[in-house]
Amino acid sequence: MKFCRIISFCMPLLLSAPSLAETDVEIGLGTQSQLKTTTHISSDWYVSSFAGQRYDEADPNSQDESESFDFYSFNGGYQYQIVDKLNLFMEAGLASYVPESSQSVDRGINVATGVNYNITDNFKVETRLSHTATQESDSKLEFSGFYRILDTLDVKASFDMQMEASKMQLGLGYRF
């Protein structure tokens, strides 16, 4: 896996984060390995970066092999509290898609919206609808659950539904 590329993309964002801001780092493993950072600039505004590598399985009826690609995005977002413990969020930013089979970079935009609900202080659920507009447009619906083990450590389970496939993913989140 090209984890070095992923780390080199997200680390400058972590290091440049304001010292008083809360920063979350999330690592996910599954059919898509990923590293996501989110820095809360204020109680409502945040910036996030995402870097991942995904492996698409080959069609069993085809002679083609599976393909992997790298995906990077940088977003700005706004979170609005609808009622106590229920938040609506919206984000938009730039996205890059790099197929392993070619050296070309496909650039575009990424938009997402969703809601999250804090059931308890330790348990949160989230629904996210996102769309990436590049040559390879992609829309997905994600359902996630987060459980806080320690003040700085979360466990995340998510289920993504896309046009071509659905996937389950587990991850860890670290907050500092």
42 within some domain: yes
**CB atoms closer than 10 angstroms to residue 168:** 10
Q: Which of 174, 176, 170, 153 is CA-nearest to residue 33?
A: 170
Q: Please count the structural domains in the chain.
A: 1
Q: Which of 81, 51, 85, 86 is CA-nearest to residue 69?
A: 51
16 within some domain: yes
Give the mean pLDDT of the chain: 79
The three-state secondary structure class of 9 is: helix
Which CATH number covers residue 46?
A: 2.40.160.20
Tokens, residue 147: 């459980």
24: pLDDT confidence band, cut at 50, 70 and 90?
confident
55 burial level (CB within 10 Å; 0-12, 13-18, 19+): middle
132 within some domain: yes
The parent domain of residue 104 ranges over 3-169
176 within some domain: no
The torsion defined by the Cα of 87, 88, 93 and 95, in degrees rounded to 10, comes to: 90
pLDDT tens digits along 101-125: 777 888 999 999 999 999 999 999 9
Q: Evaluate if residue 57 carries a pLDDT over 90.
A: no
43 within some domain: yes
pLDDT tens digits along 144-176: 999 999 988 889 888 888 877 777 777 777 776
For residue 173, the model assigns a pLDDT of 76
Lowest mean pLDDT among 25-29, 43-47, 82-86: 25-29
Percentage, residues of the chain above pLDDT 70: 76
Using the structure block, give the residue that is written with the tokens 């700085």.
152
For residue 4, the model assigns a pLDDT of 43
174 within some domain: no
For residue 86, the model assigns a pLDDT of 98
DSSP one-letter code for 44: S
Q: Evaluate if residue 74 carries a pLDDT over 50.
A: yes
The separation between CA 76 and the C-alpha centre of its own chain, rounded to angstroms, equals 13
This prediction's pTM: 0.75
DSSP one-letter code for 18: -
Q: How far is CA 59 from CA 33, 56, 62, 64, 167, in A?
A: 21, 9, 5, 7, 17
146 within some domain: yes
Q: How far is CA 40 from CA 30, 46, 59, in A?
A: 27, 4, 41
175 within some domain: no
